[in-house]
A = this chain, B = another copy of it.
Amino acid sequence: MIKRTTLADIAKAANVSMMTVSRAINNKPGLSDELRQHILSLVEEMGYRPNTFARGLATSQTTTIGLVVPDNTNPFFAQIARGVEDAAFENLYNIFLVNTNEDAVRETAALETLWQKGIDGVILCSSRLSGQALEYQVQRFPAIVLVNRELKQSHANLITINVNDHRSAQRVLQHFMGLDRRVIAYIGGPANSFSNQRRLDGYKNGLRSAEIPYNPQLVMSTQPTTEGGREAAAVLLRRRPDVNAIFAYNDLVAVGAMQMCQELGKRVPEDVAIIGVDDIPLATIIRPQLTTMHVPLTHIGRLAMRALIDLIAGEGSSAAYQIEPELFIRDSA
């Protein structure tokens, strides 16, 4: 390991005070351009890099944020994380990545250690915390961005980013209507998921607009995985073999449902039309290619990071972004 060059080393070499060096490297006024150039060249030459701990201790600012996701393996969060990381890199921020495994206890523990690290802010995705616990976290961190979650009260240091699930579901139903499908099932995600609730509302709403009565038999709840989609579809098709359209919680569920349909002898999209949500890479890999509500995941990640930076800088203000997904019509519906 290399011994680090410190501010003091530079100061000695330049025969000035540490403060002058500090001003030079932080681009602050108070010294002649000539001297600044001289110091900067010494910095370069001696390979000086500021110690982030010392700086953090002195300023109580790190250029570090926390990114909390249920599972970075899930393409949905992987894409968001990538967007966050890209924007962070461009702005010289570093990110702590933590998985919560959809577990509120682990999520709390993660936020605890992040807080100890004194980070500047958090991007919290699909939080499973209760409203109260979330309020606590919001007021303890300097800045926080909530993705896929809302909060009743607004806070000066809080920004939320949500997909317009309600309209998303309505758009899907509208497309099914255009295809003349009337027996439309909804294979939803975990019951405690907020976006699931909103999509279900949108689904009911869409039915109402088309004057189709809502039938609980056509609504399932399952894990947001292909396996979950398979199981739910199996149960659904046994219960209601006349189903001719499925709106799935996400693409993973949609793919699972699609395969189960095919295994049970249904053709997709001829017999059963299927639409997912998210537009993960798998959607275009699978055959037939999946019709889905495209959600700009990387964009959301970048947006979250930029919003957080503004919040940290005190330039942003409380806001609630709504992301409007777009229907990408491919082969499954």
Q: Which residues of A contact B (CB under 8 A)?
A: 1-2, 49-54, 56-57, 60, 62, 64, 67, 71-73, 75, 78-79, 81-82, 85-86, 89, 92, 94-99, 106, 110, 112-118, 139-142, 157, 226, 255, 259, 281-282, 285-287
Contact of A115 among B49, B62, B78, B98 (CB under 8 A): B49
Q: How far is the CA of A255 from the CA of B285 in the complex (A)?
A: 8
Out of B51, B95, B110, B255, name the residue touching A96 (CB < 8 Å). B95
Closest to A287 in B: B259
Interchain CB contact under 8 A, A89 and B99: yes
> Would you give 20 A-B contacts (Cβ < 8 Å), ordered by A?
A1-B139, A2-B140, A52-B116, A52-B117, A54-B57, A64-B117, A67-B97, A81-B97, A85-B97, A85-B99, A89-B99, A94-B96, A94-B113, A94-B114, A95-B96, A96-B96, A255-B285, A282-B285, A285-B286, A287-B287
Are B86 and A2 touching (Cβ within 8 A)?
no
A94-B98, A139-B2, A286-B286 known; A78 vs B89 contact (CB < 8 Å): no
Query: Would you call A97 and B97 a contact (CB within 8 A)?
Result: yes
- Per the bound structure, the CA–CA distance linking A86 and B281 in Å amounts to 25
With A97-B85, A97-B95, A98-B94 as known contacts, state yes or no: A57 contacts B53, CB within 8 Å. Answer: yes
Q: Which residue of B lies closest to A115 (CB)?
A: B49
Residues of B within 8 A of A94 (CB): 96, 98, 113-114, 117
Q: Which residue of B lies closest to A252 (CB)?
A: B285
Residue of B nearest to A52 (CB): B117
Contact A141/B53 with A82-B72, A96-B94, A255-B285 known, Cβ cut-off 8 Å? no
Question: Shortest Cβ distance from A233 into chain B, in angstroms?
Answer: 14
Residues from chain B with a CB closer than 8 A to the CB of A97 are 67, 81, 85, 95-97
Does A116 contact B57, Cβ atoms closer than 8 Å? no
* A84, chain B: closest CB distance, angstroms: 9
A1 contact from B56, B67, B78, B142, Cβ within 8 A: B142
- Are A53 and B50 in contact (CB-based, < 8 A)? no
A136 to B49, CA, bound (A): 16
CA distance A185 to B78 in the complex (A): 32
Q: Shortest Cβ distance from A232 into chain B, in angstroms?
A: 16
**Residue from the list B81, B112, B118 in contact with A72, Cβ < 8 A:** B81
Contact present for B85 and A53 (CB under 8 Å) = no
Residues of B with C-beta under 8 A to A96: 64, 94-97
Could you tell me if B1 and A140 are in contact, using CB atoms closer than 8 angstroms?
yes
A229 to chain B, nearest CB (A): 10
Q: Which residue of B lies closest to A80 (CB)?
A: B73
Residues of B within 8 A of A78 (CB): 72-73, 78
Complex-state Cα separation, A72 to B60, whole angstroms: 30
When distances are taken between beta carbons in the complex, the residues of chain B under 8 Å from A56 are: 53
Given known contacts A51-B57, A255-B285, what 18 new A-B pairs fall within 8 Å (CB)?
A1-B139, A1-B140, A2-B140, A49-B115, A50-B116, A52-B117, A53-B56, A53-B62, A64-B117, A71-B82, A72-B85, A73-B75, A85-B99, A92-B113, A94-B98, A94-B117, A96-B96, A259-B287
In whole angstroms, what is the CA distance A304 to B49 when docked?
28
Q: Are B98 and A89 in contact (CB under 8 A)?
A: yes
